[in-house]
Structure 1
Amino acid sequence: MRRDVQVTAADIARLAGVGRAAVSNWRRRHDDFPEPVGGTATSPAFSLGEIRAWLLSHGDGRELPPDEWLWQDLRAVADDDELAGLIADLGAFLVYTHRRGGDWTDLAAGDDATVAAELPGRVRQVIGAFPASLAADAVPLVRSIAALAAERGAPDAFEFLCERYFEVHSRRVYLTPPEIVALSLDLAGIDTRTHARTVHDTGSDTRNDTRSDAGSAARTVFDPACGAGGFLAGALDRLPGARVTGQDADRTTARLTAVRLALRTENADIRTGDSLRADAFPGDSADVVVSNPPFNDRGWGYEELTADPRWEYGLPPRMESELAWVQHALAHLKTDGIAVLLMPPAVGNRRSGRRIRAQLLRRGALRAVVALPAGSVPNVAVALTLWILRRPAEARTPSHVLMVDTSAHPDDYAEVAVAAWREFTEGRELDEPGVSRSVPLVDLLDDEVDLTPARYLSTASEDLSPERVTGARNRVVDLLRVLAELVPVTTTEPRDLTLVPLSELLRRGMLTVQQQAPTRPGETSEVPDGSAVLTAEDVVAGRPASGKTPERAVQREIVTRPGDVAVPQVVRVPVARVLTQGGAVLGTHLHLLRPDPEMLDPDFLAGFLCSSSNLRHYSSMSTNIRVDVRRAEVPLLPIEEQRAYGEAFRRLAAFESALRQAAELGENLIQLTADGLTHGSVRPCDDNDVKGNP
């Protein structure tokens, strides 16, 4: 039974094959454009049936994208709880057409009743997960997906449906970024350049064993928390003949992944269940284990798994589910197999896990820790790490462990990590300051067993040269001299200021106020990809725009101008910045005030907005403040007096910036001097050296 579902402006743009701005123009220009039936004022929703009729009547011969219409047809025949099952059924049908295309061509020549009667049995002969019966009125939908598969290939057609489903259900399934998938496979030795699996033994005796794709290499890849199957699909792209296995606790996700991989190979096995509590592959071993397992899982099964034989390196503490996943991965590795797991940084330094970390090191299981840059894994508050593990042929204590920190290389972190790992596996001793180092095992096996890479990296000797230390000292001294000149001069004569709400200034046309909204799942932004985005963090830090689209997805293209006043909506201390540069797109969680410079001085406005007197008009949120600029009060003064106030506020802002810079330079000077003294590049001055110096 077909439902009339609701679609957003972004959905309409996709259905029409146009940009979202065109939909906004249609709404303004065409009186017969359908009215919203739901949603909000900023993100209205429309009836799919009404939009379908309108687009068909105003198509002007324009070809409409069949894949987007098919997706909306699926939404119309299945609710959210049934949609994933329907997509999986259609995927199973695509597996059948992919493997027995001629059989489907013959069957499709019949009428819908014949197809409905014959198709279930034929699909189930190829892939068992398919309904035993099919209604005749469902056959047109089957024919539509077959037509899409004929146009773009069965795997790509199913990828499209999965992509749209995951967009709508982004909270149900977390997709590991493709860059992390590619890096993990590179580190695991599944090399995209040679289609070969390289197995490295990096114990005390180093040996390399590169086995060709056509040779005798056992090619099995396992992901115990496979989710949407990104790691396994990536492995198949590089090694088409590999056997891939995976398990996921979510039944719906596991079924979609099973179909997704079945369209790539007949050698995939995906099962449902909690890998820690109910291992679906007991006794199976793989050459490679790659995974992004759940973090901070307090209910991973500590009580019922106390005596589990997988805990070869020690019983994981109740609060250390990640160490359970590490040992589960090792239990499924063949001798000399490689595992690469995405881990939160706390796993490397929590006190409760130090004994297991020590055992992993002593027995040669943990070979490297790679710290990733912040933001390389979206929607995660901390910078994650990759642990590289192996199952050694014998208990053998290695001499060194590789530590890599790629945080200073956000644009090429993958290349940096892979290069360091390859050099390490070739037996070279690494010591690239600030990036990588082969750390002696004895340095790691202290009371803490801290596996944070940055802790063990050396500092470049040239960075500690006497010239650099002296230069830093001179910059601090010069800046301290300038600070006194920046303090604004004020009189001691008080005056009464009559304050009015900002809303009064708005009413008089002295300024405008704008806000940004983020894009919602399925929506298309009006902002071109790659545009610079001014973030709330930028305003607080007083720096230029640092964000980029589409990572910082916003709905509208609100472009900043010099003289605009940006005010973060949630802060610890009220902040208002006058922008000296324009051209960036306004980010979310910001107010943008644009004063008329002939009526309202920007610095005058900013100074009063973040003053303590306006705190009473803002809302408290525990340690933060929610700023509603419309409730703030500003005095009404002649423009000449405003500019005098504005000059004083500008001097204060310059003083604040210089003071912050002096603090940063001072901290840098302290560290440089201390490092220079300890490394021997500089020495303490005696009394004669000090004389005559400023």
Structure 2
Amino acid sequence: MPDRPEVTAVEIARLAGVGRAAVSNWRRRHPDFPRPVGGTDSSPAFALAEVEAWLRSQGKIAELPLLERVWRLVETLRDPAGHPAGPLVQAGTVLLLHHRAPEQWAALAEQPDTRLATALPRALADTARTALGPDGADGPDSPDGAGGVHRSGLLGSTELDLARLLARLAADTGPADAFEQLLTRYAEANTRQLTPTPPEAADLLAAVAGDAATVLDPATGLGALLLALPSTTDRHGQDTDPVTLALARLRLALRAPATDPAPLPIDLRPGDALRADAHPGRSFDAVLCQPPYNERDWGHDELQFDRRWPGGLVPPRGESELAWVLHCLAHTRPGGLAALLLPPTVAARRAGRRVRAELLRSGALRAVVALPAGAAPPYGVPLHLWVLRAPRPGDDFRQVLMLDAASTSPGSAEVAEGGRDKVRWPELHRTVLDAWRAFDLAAREGLPLPADRPGRHRTVAAIDLLDDETDLSPARHVPPAAPLGGAAGLSHLGGRLTELLAGLADPATLLPGPTGGAAPEAGAGAGSGPGSVVTLGELVRSGLLEVHSSGAGAPTRPAGADPTGIPVLTDHDLVTGSAPGAVLDRAAAAEGTPLTRSGDVLVPALGGGVARVVGPAGPPVGAALGRQLHLLRPDPAALDPDFLAGHLRSTAAARRAASHASTTTRLDIRRVELPRLPIAEQRRLGAAFARLAAFDATLQQAAALGRTLTQAVTDALAAGTAEPPSAP
């Protein structure tokens, strides 16, 4: 374990908001670049303090962000032979002290290091024991046991430094948000081991469960599903990884109000829920779960005679998800609810037909909801939400709600675009909850079932689903909707397309006139005469231009998840001209985070001939930078924004300022060259560039609307709801 924070070339690139190739160039071109202090020849490691000092001296960063400092210390404390999340448990316990007993930390912080090193571990242990109870604080999956927070009773200098930086981070963002930021970094670095359920998906499952007093999540992970419940709910869980379970326990404790009576109602136990059920014979008001998918070794052979299988019907070896469904149902009290996020293949695989049929015959399965791709990991797959109610004696209800929430709206020709930041969560929540609650109320109270809604949902009798396939995919059972408003809707689309095409400028007005002389030679001298050029790097050094690079960008949430959040523009938004699809929590925004102003110019880090001026006809004012973007802020008295954006869109700029990594081409923004021109001439050229940009944007809108109209007419003709036009 290194005695000081170290960073790799990839991490240096992230700090500076550049590509890895740029770091390699710095090492070759600058003899004063820090020397490696560890790692390997192919992946050297550098001392963070030396790298930070060098980046500041070169003007590439102002100061290392506080979160980055904390994360580097967490990485430094990681034991290569231990669990990678061990130091995170330690950090979470320190933040729990700030959350539950801030006055105690204030008193400890005044102590000299020698006394703090022995007093802090005792304070951490007492806080964990008070908040979580003796089982939660002292068990094998506890912060003490898993993270090594205070096993020795003495903290080292690095751990004390971490505690002080955590105090600053907690003061800036709050202890809970500070821990969330660290968990996000950890999950990003361990994507193969962790696939956390997004908070929006967890909120949906919690809302489906309703006012359950006791809830179980048998595949807890980082506790996202339990976190979506009120802190007063009696929450239970199980997970195979005790250290991950410790992180979940801390996460739940940090999100519970500090005034909640302790110990908190949190009972998380280690172990494999299928092979070693930690809650045998217990039932809960609700069971929520996103189980692991596609597991072959889930215990099929040793669980042949398990009592959780109805009528001895053992799930096939390749149907681990159905084993989780039956496990959750076995722990649901009669009349209680189970909700699971499952891959769509579970609804149709032939091997699971008998188990699906048994769920239908018993009346347990109540709803199958198709969600859009991006709702939960794996983000490229449109998952299904299964909702079950444990049968009660005498309950003969045998109907299933089939709900297709994967499309943007019923009857729309627009298909929901996959991707985590593309899910319209507020609309999705309304669609699912309105349909489910109306159906569930009718089922429980014996009321008439809600009317079917073509294109969205349909109630199907269980007996009608029992056939050779027993396919439960909603798309197979929900009738298609009328195409996009019928003839009136199609006419409206056609009229809008006509307006867009009519509004396009005559291309002849965009053609250039004679220049009146020979074109200047590329790369002409840097003087002030005709043909001279200046690089953007020189403009930055002279104070006429500011450049802000986002790198990987800050952690974001989909738009609509936080109405008060700061809109975040991504490189995809910029290229497509779409509105921001994500937001940044205002509390999590670092001090000095640049927000767009009118007249700023935005450019993707990967180039691509795109550059847009912030303003009424371009990207919005007041947005934060998402991943892989450059923000250029010119002095309008010396550099016209439209003139700058026009040159950034030119082929010459992309070719001359390109830098190449192993698989991508990036735009080295500081190497872009501009001709030296008076501001009046810049504005004249800038106006022409702006007209070209408006022409291109209108063309893109017309093309998108044309595709929508074409698909809508195709669907109408195929459905027989429209007649083909008369032949000309």
TM-score category, normalised to shorter length: 0.5 to 0.7
Q: Hey, what's the Cα distance between the residues in 2 that align with 1:552 and 1:434? A: 40
Q: Does the 8 Å contact 2:483/2:716 carry over to 1? A: no
CA 1:289–1:520 in 2, change beyond 3 Å: closer, same or farther? closer
Residue 540 of structure 1 deviates from its aligned partner by: 1.6
Instruction: Select which of 220, 225, 237 maps to 2:219.
Output: 225
Matched, 1:504 2:503: no
Matched, 1:91 2:128: yes
Residue 466 of structure 1 deviates from its aligned partner by: 1.9
Cα deviations by residue, 1:505-547 (Å, 9 ceiling, x for unpaired): 43455432123475589xxxxxx95333333332122245454
Q: Hey, what's the Cα distance between the residues in 2 that align with 1:349 and 1:424? A: 23
Matched, 1:584 2:622: yes
Following superposition of structure 1 onto structure 2, how do residues 187-226 of structure 1 map, counting pairs within 5 Å? Answer: 187-188=208-209, 190-191=210-211, 221-226=215-220
Cα deviations by residue, 1:303-353 (Å, 9 ceiling, x for unpaired): 7668574566664565x6544422332343455542112345665577987
Report the counterpart of residue 601 of structure 2 in structure 1.
Answer: 565
Q: Does the 8 Å contact 1:364/1:398 carry over to 2? A: yes
Following superposition of structure 1 onto structure 2, how do residues 662-677 of structure 1 map, counting pairs within 5 Å? Answer: 662-677=702-717
Instruction: Select which of 404, 425, 430 maps to 1:410.
Output: 425
CA 1:480–1:455 in 2, change beyond 3 Å: closer, same or farther? farther
Residue 363 of structure 1 deviates from its aligned partner by: 6.0
Q: Does the 8 Å contact 2:131/2:264 carry over to 1? A: no
Q: Does the 8 Å contact 1:557/1:585 carry over to 2? A: no
Count of aligned pairs:
553
CA 1:71–1:519 in 2, change beyond 3 Å: closer, same or farther? farther
Cα deviations by residue, 1:647-674 (Å, 9 ceiling, x for unpaired): 4433432332222222211122123223
Report the counterpart of residue 547 of structure 2 in structure 1.
Answer: 513
Residue 280 of structure 1 deviates from its aligned partner by: 2.6
Residue 391 of structure 1 deviates from its aligned partner by: 4.2
Task: Give the 3-state SS of the residue equivalent to 2:425 in structure 1.
Answer: coil
Following superposition of structure 1 onto structure 2, how do residues 223-372 of structure 1 map, counting pairs within 5 Å? Answer: 223-227=217-221, 245-254=236-245, 270-294=268-292, 296=293, 301=298, 307=304, 309=306, 315=315, 318=318, 321-343=320-342, 360=359, 364-371=363-370
Q: Hey, what's the Cα distance between the residues in 1 that align with 2:290 and 2:121? A: 22
Q: Does the 8 Å contact 2:615/2:621 carry over to 1? A: no
Instruction: Select which of 421, 435, 457 maps to 1:420.
Output: 435
Amino acid across the alignment from 2:714: A
Amino acid across the alignment from 2:276: A
Q: Hey, what's the Cα distance between the residues in 2 that align with 1:267 and 1:560? A: 44
Q: Does the 8 Å contact 1:84/1:165 carry over to 2? A: no
Q: Hey, what's the Cα distance between the residues in 2 that align with 1:97 and 1:321? A: 34
Residue 97 of structure 1 deviates from its aligned partner by: 11
CA 1:457–1:490 in 2, change beyond 3 Å: closer, same or farther? farther
Q: Does the 8 Å contact 1:85/1:252 carry over to 2? A: no
Amino acid across the alignment from 2:710: I
Tell me which moved more, 630-639 or 441-450. Answer: 441-450
Task: Give the 3-state SS of the residue equivalent to 2:642 in structure 1.
Answer: helix
CA 1:594–1:578 in 2, change beyond 3 Å: closer, same or farther? same
Tell me which moved more, 574-583 or 351-360. Answer: 351-360
Matched, 1:390 2:424: no
Report the counterpart of residue 468 of structure 1 in structure 2.
Answer: 489
Q: Does the 8 Å contact 1:497/1:635 carry over to 2? A: no
Greater Rg by CA: 1
CA 1:423–1:315 in 2, change beyond 3 Å: closer, same or farther? same
Amino acid across the alignment from 1:289: V
Q: Does the 8 Å contact 1:225/1:291 carry over to 2? A: yes
Q: Hey, what's the Cα distance between the residues in 1 that align with 2:153 and 2:479? A: 69
Residue 430 of structure 1 deviates from its aligned partner by: 3.7
CA 1:350–1:595 in 2, change beyond 3 Å: closer, same or farther? farther
Amino acid across the alignment from 2:599: G
CA 1:677–1:560 in 2, change beyond 3 Å: closer, same or farther? same
Q: Hey, what's the Cα distance between the residues in 2 that align with 1:636 and 1:346? A: 61
Following superposition of structure 1 onto structure 2, how do residues 521-670 of structure 1 map, counting pairs within 5 Å? Answer: 530-550=565-585, 553-555=588-590, 556-570=592-606, 573-581=608-616, 583-588=621-626, 589-613=628-652, 614-615=654-655, 617-620=657-660, 624-639=664-679, 642-643=682-683, 645-670=685-710
CA 1:440–1:671 in 2, change beyond 3 Å: closer, same or farther? farther
Task: Give the 3-state SS of the residue equivalent to 1:533 in structure 2.
Answer: strand
Q: Does the 8 Å contact 1:565/1:602 carry over to 2? A: yes
Task: Give the 3-state SS of the residue equivalent to 2:279 in structure 1.
Answer: coil
CA 1:580–1:383 in 2, change beyond 3 Å: closer, same or farther? farther
CA 1:397–1:486 in 2, change beyond 3 Å: closer, same or farther? farther
Q: Does the 8 Å contact 2:611/2:649 carry over to 1? A: yes
Q: Does the 8 Å contact 1:339/1:389 carry over to 2? A: yes
Residue 385 of structure 1 deviates from its aligned partner by: 4.6
Matched, 1:495 2:519: yes
Residue 378 of structure 1 deviates from its aligned partner by: 10
Residue 357 of structure 1 deviates from its aligned partner by: 5.6
Q: Does the 8 Å contact 1:84/1:256 carry over to 2? A: no
Q: Does the 8 Å contact 1:369/1:453 carry over to 2? A: yes
Residue 403 of structure 1 deviates from its aligned partner by: 1.0
Q: Hey, what's the Cα distance between the residues in 2 that align with 1:327 and 1:84? A: 43
Residue 567 of structure 1 deviates from its aligned partner by: 0.6
Q: Does the 8 Å contact 2:214/2:285 carry over to 1? A: yes
CA 1:533–1:229 in 2, change beyond 3 Å: closer, same or farther? closer
Q: Hey, what's the Cα distance between the residues in 1 that align with 2:396 and 2:114? A: 60
TM-score when normalising by structure 2: 0.60
Q: Hey, what's the Cα distance between the residues in 2 that align with 1:625 and 1:352? A: 46
Report the counterpart of residue 28 of structure 1 in structure 2.
Answer: none
Q: Hey, what's the Cα distance between the residues in 2 that align with 1:562 and 1:449? A: 57
Task: Give the 3-state SS of the residue equivalent to 2:596 in structure 1.
Answer: coil
Amino acid across the alignment from 2:647: F
CA 1:562–1:95 in 2, change beyond 3 Å: closer, same or farther? closer
Task: Give the 3-state SS of the residue equivalent to 1:476 in structure 2.
Answer: helix
CA 1:343–1:497 in 2, change beyond 3 Å: closer, same or farther? farther
Q: Hey, what's the Cα distance between the residues in 1 that align with 2:109 and 2:698? A: 56
Q: Does the 8 Å contact 2:300/2:317 carry over to 1? A: no
Percent identity between the two aligned chains: 36
Report the counterpart of residue 9 of structure 2 in structure 1.
Answer: none
CA 1:665–1:235 in 2, change beyond 3 Å: closer, same or farther? closer
Matched, 1:43 2:41: no
Following superposition of structure 1 onto structure 2, how do residues 449-464 of structure 1 map, counting pairs within 5 Å? Answer: 453=474, 461=482, 463-464=484-485
Amino acid across the alignment from 1:401: L
CA 1:504–1:162 in 2, change beyond 3 Å: closer, same or farther? closer
Q: Hey, what's the Cα distance between the residues in 1 that align with 2:473 and 2:430? A: 20
Report the counterpart of residue 66 of structure 1 in structure 2.
Answer: 103
The Cα RMSD (Å) is 5.5
Amino acid across the alignment from 2:632: L
Q: Hey, what's the Cα distance between the residues in 2 that align with 1:449 and 1:645? A: 66
Report the counterpart of residue 401 of structure 1 in structure 2.
Answer: 401
TM-score when normalising by structure 1: 0.63
Amino acid across the alignment from 1:671: Q
Task: Give the 3-state SS of the residue equivalent to 1:431 in structure 2.
Answer: coil
Q: Does the 8 Å contact 1:286/1:332 carry over to 2? A: yes
Task: Give the 3-state SS of the residue equivalent to 1:290 in structure 2.
Answer: strand
CA 1:264–1:421 in 2, change beyond 3 Å: closer, same or farther? farther
Q: Hey, what's the Cα distance between the residues in 2 that align with 1:662 and 1:388? A: 42
CA 1:643–1:347 in 2, change beyond 3 Å: closer, same or farther? farther
Amino acid across the alignment from 1:226: T
